Structure 1
Amino acid sequence: MSITVVLYSHDSVGLGHARRNRALAHALAADLPRLTGQPVRGLLIAGHPDATADSLPPGWDWLVLPGFTRTAEGYASRNLDVSNGRLTALRSSTAAAAIKAMSPDLFIADRHPFGVDEELLDSLKWLRSQGTRCVLGMREVLDSPAAARAEWDRIGGASAAAEFYHAVWVYGDPSVYNPITSGEIPAPLATRTRFTGYLSHGRPTDELSDSSVRAPRPYVLSMVGGGSDGGRLALAAAQARVPAGHRHIILTGPQMPPEDHSRVQKAVAASPDAAQIQVTRLAPHVPQLVREAAAVVSMAGYNSTAEIMATTTPALLVPRATRRAEQPRRARALAAVGAVDTLALEELSAKALSRWLVDAVTRRCDRDAVDLDGLTRIGALAAAELSLAPPVPARPDPAAARCAATPLSPPAAEARIESHVS
């Protein structure tokens, strides 16, 4: 006997969803065998090929769906030359085939209960018929309350999600930010919500290799998550003066547009501190880089923030101000409890970053007042869910399983595309 877990993330923009699930996979692999006496295996369904650069525990693997991406006209296929409807049908049937073949005991979806354009709905119906425990994982900040309500309405309300999900895990500390009291998580799901604490302490990190980013200490670090919309911050960081005696590492992210990355490189070449600045797109060991930095400048995405919070490194969050209100709300909440400093995007400049860096490298930051131990609780929460699963008949051999989903016709799927994924 073994426990099988499937985790899903849609990953149209950035890698935050997949990286949250990857952290959960490592926590489950570490704790569930001890708590249940059974080995654990799993599959992470993701939507961006860069997700697979992050390692998984033994017995786990990635399944990458053909991807959506954001364009000036809205969402479109990332690579395949197909319509949105055909892509949705392909993703839905692929995910359903994998889920039925794995026949999981526990299913965890990140952020969007039904995925892109309800691509998970057929799978969720099958999982319900099998008695599988289903969990909806949520970051602590969704959006402004009005935007969150509108998003719930587009999928039929929180009651529609409550038909399939037995529990909601919020990866945050309610004393810092509470999406229930703000109205971002409505009543039908609030009663089954558990706060885990931030997924900070115990985050997985890959070992250093010959290709790993290294810099002599002391150094300061600037990072912009996946980088798709981090060009302005990375450029200001490249133009900022490096504190005396330090180096500066700038992570532009694997998804930064080539023209933005080029501007950053040109700014570094023109800097009087060029010899002290190192620019790279990707580092597989960001938590260690943050921990050893003298100071860090970052956007305010969940995963970057969680990695920062696990350290005593002073941090300046410059939140993204477009698409969603998530990042400004997170930055304000953490600044209010003294965990970070924050700078509005409209106030961003090389001079402002230079001033902050000079001061920040002289101090450290105590974040012990914030609950950062979410990953230590995931195993127990999962074990509790599994204990509530009703007895079910022996499941068929996965090798003989067939896809239960009936893909939408391309016109029907295209008609249902919604612009709510991020």
Structure 2
Amino acid sequence: MDTADHSQELRIALYSHDSLGLGHTRRNLAIAQALSDALPELTGRKLSGLLITGERTATSYRCPKGFDWLVVPGIRKKSGRYEARHLGVKSERLFDIRSSVIGGALDAFRPHIVIVDRHPFGIDGELIKPLRELKAVKPETTFVLGLREVLDAPEVAAEEWKRVGVESVTDLFDRVWVYGDRDIHDPLATGELPAEFAPMVDYTGLLSSGRKFSGRHNATIKPFVLTMLGGGSDGVNVAKAAAAAPVPAGVQHLVVTGPQMPSAERHEVEAVAGPSTKVTNKVSDGMSYVASADAVVSMAGYNTVAETLSTDTPALLVPRTTPRTEQIIRARGLGETGAIDWVDPSEATSETIGQWLAEAVANPAIREKQRAAREELGLNGLDRVVDLAADLAWLTDKSVAPLPVPDANIVAGYSSNAGIAADADPAGVTRNAVTVPAHSFEAAGVNHAAV
């Protein structure tokens, strides 16, 4: 039943820059879906939202009810600089176009909440003018910076925040949502986030549980194992190693290179594929394939990992190590919990991948061990984001008095899965108090929990 009051809209805009891969857009899409499903009933208001992206293939994903896409010209990073992915214009003009389009949309849409993914002021400052102008004409707008749980090596992240300007961020943004399990990786504790952000931070847990997928896939390839490379722009080496890996008898192997892998590289992957391996650039519903596979090999981007952790499919991660160390930090942390296996990319040979696939398919204990470990993680980030957004929405509800602003000295936590010990600080904020034990050993270069 639609209980929303259509006389008062709740407008939300989500931005992602999308220079590499599809993870930023897919993360915002998952958030938009969760908000669309729950916020109207929680707030009694009709939800209307903009998904702002720089990836034109994003529109192939189903848009949640009440949301629509705003696609700006795409960018890519080349030789350390950003340039147009498709347009024949120089970078300065490209960012002028992107900034003008975003600014015009925000000025006309007048959102109550703006959620910016990863880069507070966009690429090359493209959001500075649009966000400041929106705040000037609609000062009650709440600005949220959404961050994955791992940014990079602390010294690298510190330099980035120095260039962005810590004070500029704290002046404009109201909250910082960290999409991760604080007990696995805490970017405030590691120094990836400036200490000045602490009063603004809400830890949500990983955006895993509650991900929507159709459950439909190509049944003709069952049983099958799966290799997924996300967008695919930097996944050719993993794709070739996986495609050439031996496959267990009677099992098919589907390698999804991703729509951003250049066609020449995809042909290289196809050339080394074995007789039981099929290579394709994309599938209609990746999560359905992950959930149905007997085992999955992937890189360690945030969104791919979050989706995988929501299933019980055994996973082997092959993290990239450049240009950021984010993926290998994530793989190590999750590997210590036993929730996934991982291998350093320098050791991710066809033989190593083939050996892991054979063990994962033949030994049910590997699936059970990873499944049990995943149950101990904080995976309820989408529910937490909905609650946080609902709290912010009340501040813009004209039918009720504003709620008191939370104590600025509180860094909000989250309640993770049942059965995990939790305690409350003096301010009453529930915090996950579990310490995750590390279990790992190395075999054929693969780091995984003993089974």
Provide the TM-score with structure 2 as the length reference: 0.82
Deviation (angstroms), 1:263: 0.8
* Aligned residue number for residue 159 of structure 1: 167
* Aligned residue number for residue 399 of structure 1: none
Name which of 213, 218, 223 aligns with 1:218: 223
* Aligned residue number for residue 152 of structure 2: 143
Deviation (angstroms), 1:162: 1.1
Provide the secondary structure at the position in 2 that maps to 1:147: helix
Instruction: Give me the whole-angstrom Cα distance separating, in 2, the residues matched to 1:2 and 1:207.
Output: 32
Instruction: Give me the whole-angstrom Cα distance separating, in 1, the residues matched to 2:87 and 2:174.
Output: 35
Residues 1:233 and 2:238 aligned together: yes
* Aligned residue number for residue 249 of structure 2: 244
Deviation (angstroms), 1:71: 2.3
Whether the 8 Å contact between 1:172 and 1:371 is mirrored in structure 2 is yes
Residues 1:261 and 2:269 aligned together: no
Instruction: Give me the whole-angstrom Cα distance separating, in 2, the residues matched to 1:226 and 1:334.
Output: 22
Residues 1:203 and 2:211 aligned together: yes
Deviation (angstroms), 1:73: 5.9
Residue identity in the other structure for 1:244: A
Instruction: Give me the whole-angstrom Cα distance separating, in 1, the residues matched to 2:283 and 2:180.
Output: 25
* Aligned residue number for residue 343 of structure 1: 343
Q: Equivalent residues in 2 for 1:19-58 (5 A)?
A: 19-58=26-65
Most deviating of 276-285 and 106-115? 276-285
Deviation (angstroms), 1:321: 1.1
* Aligned residue number for residue 289 of structure 1: 289
Query: Cα distance 1:372–1:328, how it changes in 2: closer, same or farther (>3 A)?
Result: same
Query: Cα distance 1:70–1:184, how it changes in 2: closer, same or farther (>3 A)?
Result: same
Deviation (angstroms), 1:70: 2.1
Q: Unaligned regions of 5+ residues in structure 1, if any?
A: 393-422
* Aligned residue number for residue 182 of structure 1: 190
Whether the 8 Å contact between 1:253 and 1:281 is mirrored in structure 2 is yes
Residue identity in the other structure for 2:163: R
Whether the 8 Å contact between 1:68 and 1:77 is mirrored in structure 2 is yes
Compare relative contact order (CA 8 Å, sep 6+) and give the higher one, 1 or 2. Answer: 1
* Aligned residue number for residue 115 of structure 2: 108
Query: Cα distance 1:284–1:346, how it changes in 2: closer, same or farther (>3 A)?
Result: same
Residues 1:172 and 2:180 aligned together: yes
Instruction: Give me the whole-angstrom Cα distance separating, in 1, the residues matched to 2:233 and 2:170.
Output: 33
Residues 1:67 and 2:60 aligned together: no
Deviation (angstroms), 1:391: 6.8
Instruction: Give me the whole-angstrom Cα distance separating, in 2, the residues matched to 1:344 and 1:67.
Output: 31
Whether the 8 Å contact between 1:35 and 1:379 is mirrored in structure 2 is no
Whether the 8 Å contact between 1:215 and 1:249 is mirrored in structure 2 is no
Residues 1:193 and 2:201 aligned together: yes
Deviation (angstroms), 1:118: 0.9
- Give the alignment's Cα RMSD to 1 decimal: 1.5
Query: Cα distance 1:152–1:355, how it changes in 2: closer, same or farther (>3 A)?
Result: same
Most deviating of 355-364 and 326-335? 355-364
Deviation (angstroms), 1:38: 0.7
Whether the 8 Å contact between 2:19 and 2:75 is mirrored in structure 1 is yes
Residue identity in the other structure for 2:260: Q
Residues 1:278 and 2:278 aligned together: yes
Provide the TM-score with structure 1 as the length reference: 0.88
Residues 1:124 and 2:131 aligned together: yes
Whether the 8 Å contact between 1:138 and 1:171 is mirrored in structure 2 is yes
Deviation (angstroms), 1:231: 0.3
Aligned residue-pair number? 383
Provide the secondary structure at the position in 2 that maps to 1:168: strand
Whether the 8 Å contact between 1:234 and 1:252 is mirrored in structure 2 is yes
Instruction: Give me the whole-angstrom Cα distance separating, in 1, the residues matched to 2:280 and 2:177.
Output: 34
Whether the 8 Å contact between 1:109 and 1:136 is mirrored in structure 2 is yes
Deviation (angstroms), 1:145: 0.2
Instruction: Give me the whole-angstrom Cα distance separating, in 1, the residues matched to 2:258 and 2:237.
Output: 13
Deviation (angstroms), 1:222: 0.5
Most deviating of 15-24 and 278-287? 278-287
Instruction: Give me the whole-angstrom Cα distance separating, in 2, the residues matched to 1:22 and 1:246.
Output: 33
* Aligned residue number for residue 306 of structure 2: 306
Deviation (angstroms), 1:72: 3.7
Q: Unaligned regions of 5+ residues in structure 2, if any?
A: 1-7, 400-451
Query: Cα distance 1:5–1:377, how it changes in 2: closer, same or farther (>3 A)?
Result: same
